[in-house]
Structure 1
Amino acid sequence: MSKLAGMEGSASRVLLRAVELDGAARLAEALVCYQEGIQLLLDVLKATTDEAKKEKYRERIGEYMDRAEEIKKHVQLEKEAGKYHEQIHIAAGSVGNSYGRLFKPYIDQTLTEVWVDDPYIRSKHQIMNFLRFCELLVKSDCQVRRIHLTTGEEEGPRQEEQKGRLGGLGESLQQYGISLEVQYSHTLHDREIRFSNGWIIKIGRGLDIFRPTKGQFQIGFCDYDLRECHETTVDIFHNKHLKTSTHGDVSS
């Protein structure tokens, strides 16, 4: 396969994903894929010498750009009206649902602060999930400086393990100019992630959506896009007047 054919194949796959997401009303994700696909197709256009093919590429690019602009305007109007709501159903055993896929469409340069309410950031694998979420924020194109975590508190010897692991994560985040504030609630039940740019993501299972692999040397152990998931529902909202207050029954 030639380099040009490979580039076109990559563009086609991303744009096909954009169309699928568009049809499923997952508009914010579709917009990201349209934008990525259009850029890939522009690269193909630049590398093409055949004028007939160049004209076909221009037509395709124009069509995708028009649709992307329509989605962008629609999402913006829904956000302004406080009516934006998108729901994603993650089927049992499905793959391709890494934190990057779920959260990246809502992370931008205006994001400076994140609130995570999840009663089950307690055991080792749950804290590892939270770590992966923090890593996504660190490497994303945003300006996050504070992450607030409210979670349940372990009991007995495991309590020190929980606090030690979260304390170590907090120290690590400081190296990237990000402070981690952890609070413990005995009454917290709901799972919700709030971004300072107005996006609110509610996941039925919180961050704990991935099934364990059968062993460490199994596909999906490291790459969460290849990890099977538990069944859950993700609801995405946007609210310009974001509520950031902490819970009443909280101990530090």
Structure 2
Amino acid sequence: MTENHVSGMEASAISVLKRAVELDQAGRLQEALVCYQEGIQLLMDVLKAVKEDSKRGHYRDKIKGYMDRAEQIKAQVNQMKEDGKYHEQIRIAEDATGYSYEALFKPYVSGLLTEVWVEDPYVRHIHQLYNFLRFCEMLLKSSCKVKKIHLLTTQDEADGGQQNGALAEIKDSLGAQGVTLDLQYSSTIHDREIRFNNGWIIKIGRGLDYFKRPKGRFSVGYCDYDLRPCHETSVDIFHSKHTKTL
């Protein structure tokens, strides 16, 4: 392995661990834990590639320090989950970027996740239907094994045909991937909430529809949601040992 490759891995590790420390200081513990784990793995890869004893000792000390902190956070998060007191809030600023569904939900999507409930009154218009599809794609690409997605939304009285057709197509497409979409409509739903059967509950002020419209079909952020500016909103994350069913 070349020296340049090792220094590149080290730079990646430093970047991820710097983000972990920032999230840790901000009290965003579950996100920090995921970043610490990723950064530690990157540092361990660097350690394997380094030959000099002095450098190896340096990396071992760094890894131990980060592992100790990660274990402390893990214990703290587990205790808060056990006590039913886990709550953190993420504030997404106006025009902020870097908040794709992959980025936002990654810390809470684990291998234990098999069933998801989405309550969102606004999965009606074309861009909102695409948002829901992108959310489903995020789940399919992740490490979890989701088998069932429940969607509770309101019916589009102005253009119900478009909404029904799009959701039927999404249902068929998910079915081909081995995932069942359970679709229900409600005329009284107001709250926006996403529940995972691994215990995580995510409440986004604007639901899945927190992205701004792109300036054009060929503007940056049209395809990559990490580059798409957001509306100002807040995201509240809770954990419950008892995940409700609809």
- Which structure 2 residue ranges, 5 or more long, are not aligned? none
Deviations 1:27-63 (A, max 9, x none): 1111111000110111111111121111111111000
1:70 partnered with 2:77: no
Query: Counterpart amino acid of 2:161?
Result: E
Deviations 1:107-147 (A, max 9, x none): 11111110000000000100111111100111111121110
% identical equivalent positions? 61
CA distance in 2, matches of 1:243, 1:172: 26
What does 1:231-250 correspond to in 2, within 5 Å?
231-245=232-246
Deviation at 1:105, TM superposition (A): 0.8
CA distance in 1, matches of 2:230, 2:245: 29
- Which structure 1 residue ranges, 5 or more long, are not aligned? 246-252
CA distance in 2, matches of 1:227, 1:129: 12
CA distance in 2, matches of 1:65, 1:226: 32
Report what 1:121 is aligned to. 123
Aligned-pair RMSD on alpha carbons? 1.0
Report what 2:164 is aligned to. 163
Deviation at 1:163, TM superposition (A): 0.6
Deviation at 1:244, TM superposition (A): 1.9
- Structure 1 counterpart of 2:94, from 71, 92, 95: 92
CA distance in 2, matches of 1:220, 1:52: 45
Q: TM-score, normalised by structure 1?
A: 0.95
1:178 partnered with 2:176: no
Query: After TM superposition, which residue ranges in structure 1, 4 or more long, deviate above 4 angstroms?
Result: none
Query: Counterpart amino acid of 2:38?
Result: E
Query: Counterpart amino acid of 1:207?
Result: L
- Structure 2 counterpart of 1:48, from 47, 50, 69: 50
Q: TM-score, normalised by structure 2?
A: 0.97
**What is the SS of the residue equivalent to 2:90?**
strand
Deviations 1:149-171 (A, max 9, x none): 00011114x10110100110010
Report what 1:204 is aligned to. 205
**What is the SS of the residue equivalent to 1:2?**
helix
CA distance in 1, matches of 2:52, 2:213: 50
**What is the SS of the residue equivalent to 2:216?**
coil
Report what 1:188 is aligned to. 189
CA distance in 1, matches of 2:75, 2:103: 22
CA distance in 2, matches of 1:70, 1:41: 19
Report what 1:19 is aligned to. 21
CA distance in 2, matches of 1:14, 1:109: 22
Query: Counterpart amino acid of 2:216?
Result: G
CA distance in 1, matches of 2:56, 2:165: 58
Instruction: Please say which of residues 105-114 and 199-208 is displaced more in the overlay.
Output: 105-114
Deviation at 1:26, TM superposition (A): 0.7
Query: Counterpart amino acid of 1:79?
Result: K
**What is the SS of the residue equivalent to 1:115?**
strand
1:79 partnered with 2:95: no
Deviation at 1:9, TM superposition (A): 0.5
Aligned residues: 244
**What is the SS of the residue equivalent to 1:103?**
helix
Report what 1:4 is aligned to. 6
CA distance in 2, matches of 1:176, 1:72: 33
- Structure 2 counterpart of 1:135, from 115, 134, 137: 137
Deviation at 1:219, TM superposition (A): 1.5
CA distance in 2, matches of 1:32, 1:176: 27
Query: Counterpart amino acid of 2:214?
Result: T
Deviations 1:54-87 (A, max 9, x none): 1111111000001111111110010011110011
Query: Counterpart amino acid of 1:181?
Result: D
CA distance in 1, matches of 2:212, 2:243: 32
